[in-house]
Structure 1
Amino acid sequence: MKRLHRPDLFAWSCFDESRNIDFCSVAWVRSGGNVLIDPLPMSEHDRAHLESLGGATLIVVTNSDHVRGAQSLAQQFRATLYGPRAERDSFPLPCTHWLGEGDEPAPGLRVLEMQGSKTPGELALVLEKTTLVTGDLIRGHVGGTLNLLPDAKLADRTRAVASVKRIVNEYPQIETVLVGDGWPVFHDGAKALAAIAG
């Protein structure tokens, strides 16, 4: 796994040829049990690295299109699966817990529900007020900038933009945005979010 901007954050990815972007996953290493967000299947190297860091106790899937390798990794590490509450009745894998606005699956990791994306109640996660981890709605197709899902895939563009504006207003101290699809933004995250919410 690749080390990110903090010593307790790691990522791994795979390149999607149809979109010409990386799909990305995040691991947060913490004393109370490590958290994986939208985990892709892992190479033997990355799996061994994660095992050396203590494995995983909790896996958060932000939306039904990001199930990826979550179920197999949950079984391997005996981790608890968390999914978006708004998709509970149709989610493609069984979860132990369902997350919605304001929940904290681990101390310091706060859940936001994004509206207007391609799936209802898509989750975004704010880590200790300065790092945002996103699913599908907020992406990074070009290095150094962020973008929204294409309009054709949005359920409601107005609500989607309002969700991003709300993040900027409530968390102006966000410095880093780790996207599920594309390039992360490591500096001036709130500014990059504001640019797509304008």
Structure 2
Amino acid sequence: MKQLHKKDLFGWSEFNQERNLDFHSVLWVREQGNVLIDPLPLSDHDLKHLQALGGASIIVITNSDHSRDAANIAAQTGAKIFGPAGEQDNFPVSCEHWISDNEEIVPGLIAYQLEGSKTPGELALILENTTLITGDLIRAHIAGELCLLPDAKLADRDLALQSVARLANLSAIETVLTGDGWPVFKGGSKALKSMLEA
């Protein structure tokens, strides 16, 4: 796993040839139990690294299309899986907890429910006020420039833009770690506002 912009954050990626971009997963290392977000399959190297960092206690899935390898990793680590409340009736993975809007999942990690994306109630996560972790709706196909999921995949573009505006108003966001595409490590709030203006 790669060190991200903070000492307690790590990530690993997988290149998707069909979309010509990287998919990403995040590990937040914390004394009270590590949190994995949208975990892709782990290589042997990354699994050993995860174990060395204390394993995982919670896996957060932002939307059903990002369930990825969560069930397998949960079986390996004993982690509990948390999913979006908006998809509770049809989620592809068994979850121990369903996350609602504005819920503090663990201290320092707040969930925001997004509307208008391709799945109902997709989650975005705010970590310690300054780092936004996204699933599908907010992405970056070009380095340094955020964009929305393509219109053809949106359930409601206006609602999607309202959801992004809500996040853009959180002026403390410095970093955006996208589930798909490039991360934005500096000026995250500004990048969100620029996306809305475009």
Residue 193 of structure 1 corresponds to 192
Q: Is the strand fraction higher in 1 or 2?
A: 2
Does the 8 A contact of 1:168 with 1:193 survive in 2?
Answer: yes
Please state whether the residue corresponding to 2:105 is helix, strand or coil: coil
5+ long unaligned stretches in structure 1: none
Please list, as runs of the form range in 1=range in 2, the aligned pairs for 1:89-168 lying within 5 A after superposition. 89-168=89-168
Residue 75 of structure 2 corresponds to 75
Q: Shift of the alpha carbon at 1:105?
A: 1.4
Does the 8 A contact of 1:162 with 1:197 survive in 2?
Answer: no
Does the 8 A contact of 1:28 with 1:35 survive in 2?
Answer: yes
Residue 3 of structure 2 corresponds to 3
AA in 1 matched with 2:151 = D
Encode CA deviations 1:13-46: one digit per residue, 9 max, x unaligned: 0000000000000000000100000000000000
Q: Shift of the alpha carbon at 1:74?
A: 0.6
Residue 176 of structure 2 corresponds to 177
Residue 51 of structure 2 corresponds to 51
Please state whether the residue corresponding to 1:74 is helix, strand or coil: helix
Give the whole-Å Cα distance in 1 for the aligned partners of 2:27 and 2:152.
31
Give the whole-Å Cα distance in 2 for the aligned partners of 1:100 and 1:164.
17
Does the 8 A contact of 1:138 with 1:148 survive in 2?
Answer: yes
Encode CA deviations 1:100-135: one digit per residue, 9 max, x unaligned: 101111100000000000000000000011000000
AA in 2 matched with 1:4 = L
Give the whole-Å Cα distance in 2 for the aligned partners of 1:197 and 1:33.
36
Give the whole-Å Cα distance in 2 for the aligned partners of 1:104 and 1:32.
15
Please state whether the residue corresponding to 2:42 is helix, strand or coil: coil
Give the whole-Å Cα distance in 1 for the aligned partners of 2:76 and 2:15.
24
Give the whole-Å Cα distance in 2 for the aligned partners of 1:11 and 1:193.
22
Q: Shift of the alpha carbon at 1:196?
A: 1.4
| TM-score, normalised relative to structure 1 | 0.99
Residue 14 of structure 1 corresponds to 14
Give the whole-Å Cα distance in 1 for the aligned partners of 2:195 and 2:164.
8
AA in 2 matched with 1:112 = Y
State how many pairs are aligned.
197
Q: Shift of the alpha carbon at 1:176?
A: 0.1
Give the whole-Å Cα distance in 1 for the aligned partners of 2:58 and 2:196.
31
| Structure 1 ranges of 4+ moved more than 3 A | none
Give the whole-Å Cα distance in 1 for the aligned partners of 2:101 and 2:15.
31
Give the whole-Å Cα distance in 2 for the aligned partners of 1:163 and 1:86.
15
Please state whether the residue corresponding to 1:72 is helix, strand or coil: helix
Does the 8 A contact of 1:82 with 1:96 survive in 2?
Answer: yes
AA in 1 matched with 2:58 = L
Please state whether the residue corresponding to 2:104 is helix, strand or coil: coil
